[in-house]
Structure 1
């Protein structure tokens, strides 16, 4: 007999908060007018926005530990669970691929597949989910911890010691590092990130430490599920681990800079440590102390996280193909029309951009609230 799955309200809250923040920073009214904390670091360094994606992958890891522990305990279900994880991961990959190719198929279908980006946020989530799920099912907690350490060490060694063909020395610059060289060689420039065409922030080699972020979350999830440890000890442990890994990440940053685009090993520790502290705080307030009234808006986001992220990416693509005739007779996309008509004239440029992004989050909240009330949960 398998044990029932546990569920943490604080985890749903944290997931929902993370996804809402992801939608906020991905949909400003104007990319030229954004408050500094809502932008990514130019290269090295870390802004609040740079923490959103690793937080989500870390949460995926915690969720794996909670959702798959009963299957892990039953050897007869391993194959079924792994196949289910592979199926789910592939769906996530192809949802991301669909978003990448959607606009191209409408504007220029003849070249769409020749220039589509092969990797991206949903694609990385899918790949990381498959690999991390298999590791969780087949490995002991001690082996998972060792795997995490090996991943971080190997990635550091590859990026800082292996000479880059055509360059001649190991480096961490945008276009000349080893990860960028691998992306150009395997993905080709036609299938990398459109803004660079020479490297990809969700590229092949940097997916390795991204798996490390998820494994970090898995280890936390395993600890949080323990029934022989009281809540106060769990909180103390989470805070302690969080602070220690933050410090470790900052120390490693001196030699291997914290960098989201490269997903450096120091970044894995730093972001994972902050995620641990954040979950400890949420867990203590929500699940232990019982303060739950404020959680509903973000729980609503959390239970349909992938659905809302996909829809939030699809909506602007659809709106861009709806043309509206302006009073001067020229045509513009519906997205630009709405922003320039109802937001830009009434606020300063940077506040108009922010208010647009907040409106976007609120619009999706209405949809998610309706789904929540009807108990509609779309499991990808």
Structure 2
């Protein structure tokens, strides 16, 4: 498989995930969202739950190709690259949750938003930590060592949740070990408040099994390159996807698939889906040579991080100015609450795509 084709498949996969991520994150109304685009309330799985682990998988996949360049630089330079990227991603995520840095107080005055109430963990923060730790694992322990550590993390994570969680409530929102650790280290003021109680879906402890999604993406990148564009490679990737999905379903019997806790069964299940999805993209683009549809997703994939940040920042500004609600209520909702909500999300996604298209035409690609 030529490098160009590999990167097209990767860009399409990553772009598809970013496209879905925007549709999930920016409906016209969260109270009028079609079921597949809503996250599972607790245990269970929906299409929306595939987005985040797939992005981590794509990070690992891309990481394989970037790490090939590390062979020509010193260990100090490698560590500097890993550290810088990890830190920048984490800070960007933290600033995004703090943004727009001002809020209205009880007297109606605009004041600077205090650090005391800012959320510390989040999506980009988890991506940063998973990237940094997975990179170090693979760099020092090589793929074989990273696989062993990954298996250990998945098995140990179940043990930690059941050992340190409240008896009988180990997998509940309140009694789980993830929340206990976050409350102790971060404090409730620095956690997500989207639920009835402070709960961090990107918790510190639950970041450990998420590292495996990145490692899996790396291994798939390695496998695709070494096996080449052959039907044997495609069969292997498809087989790995099926096995991982089935193992996830089997583990689900004793350790339920749960995105909020990022359970080990959830990791295996989503890894399987990602392998099957990527195999499908490779088959269509590289074996059938049907590529007329790919450019739309390539635009997202080439500037994935920037477009994700753009979508979140613009949505925050629209909500703060109440324009978000006005557009939905007075324009999109005319077609019905649910259809209008989806149309709003589609419109918002296309506006983000247009920005990406302009950048692509100018050969501008934002990298961290």
Give the TM-score range, shorter chain. Answer: over 0.9
- Aligned CA RMSD, in angstroms, stands at 1.7
Taking the TM superposition and a 5 Å limit, the aligned residue runs for 1:351-366 are: 351-366=339-354
Superposition map of 1:207-218 within 5 A: 207-218=207-218
Pair 1:337-2:326 in alignment: yes
- Of the candidates 360, 365, 368, which is equivalent to residue 372 of structure 1? 360
1:46 aligns to what? Answer: 45
Paired with 1:141 and 1:247, the residues of 2 have a C-alpha distance of: 23
Contact 2:5 2:286 in 1 (8 A): no
What's the secondary structure of 1:140's corresponding residue? helix
Q: Which SS does the other structure have where 2:293 is aligned? A: helix
Residue-pair matches, total: 360
2:140 is aligned with 1:138: yes
The answer to whether the Cα contact below 8 Å between 1:82 and 1:133 also exists between their aligned partners in 2 is no
Q: CA deviation at 1:23?
A: 0.5
Q: 1:85 aligns with which of 62, 82, 87?
A: 82
Unaligned runs of 5+ in 1: 323-332
**Cα distance in 1 between the residues matched to 2:242 and 2:315:** 39
The aligned counterpart of 1:327 is none
Alignment deviations for residues 246-289 of structure 1 (CA, whole Å, 9 cap, x no partner):
00000000000000000000000000011001111111211233
Shift of 1:144: 1.3
Q: Distance in 2 between matches of 1:213 and 1:309?
A: 19
Task: State TM-score, norm by structure 1.
Answer: 0.91
Q: State the distance in 2 between where 1:105 and 1:77 align.
A: 43
Distance in structure 2 (CA, Å) of the matches to 1:280 and 1:248:
19
1:219 maps to 219
| Aligned residue number for residue 206 of structure 2 | 206
**1:348 is aligned to 2:361:** no
Q: Say whether residues 1:235 and 2:234 are aligned partners.
A: yes
For 1:275 and 1:203, how far apart are their aligned partners in 2? Answer: 23
Equivalence for 1:325: none
SS in 1 for 2:364: coil
After superposition, the Cα gap between the structure-2 partners of 1:230 and 1:24, relative to the gap in structure 1 and judged at 3 Å, is closer
User: What does residue 10 of structure 1 align with?
Assistant: 9
> Which residue of the partner structure matches residue 65 of structure 2?
66
Q: Return the offset for 1:300.
A: 0.3
1:1-380 matches, cutoff 5 A: 7-71=6-70, 73-74=71-72, 76-107=73-104, 109-110=111-112, 112-160=114-162, 162-164=163-165, 167-168=166-167, 171-196=170-195, 197-226=197-226, 229-322=228-321, 333-344=322-333, 346-380=334-368
Between 204-213 and 93-102, report the one with greater CA deviation: 93-102
What residue is the counterpart of 1:326 in the other structure? none
Q: 1:192 to 1:34 in 2, by over 3 A?
A: same
2: CA distance, partners of 1:66 / 1:352? 41
The alpha-carbon deviation at position 230 of structure 1 amounts to: 4.8
Cα deviation for residue 302 of structure 1 reads 0.3
* Whole-angstrom distance in 1 between the partners of 2:191 and 2:350: 32
CA-to-partner distance for each residue in 1:131-183, whole Å, 9 max, x for gaps? 111222222221111111011011111112x133xx45661001111111111
Q: Say if 2:103 and 2:112, in contact at 8 Å, map to a contact too.
A: no
Q: Deviations over 1:9-39 (max 9, x none)?
A: 1111010000010011100001110000000
Residues 8 and 287 in structure 1, CA contact (< 8 A), matched pair in contact too: no
* Partner SS for 1:293: coil
Q: What is the distance in 2 between the residues matched to 1:206 and 1:264?
A: 8
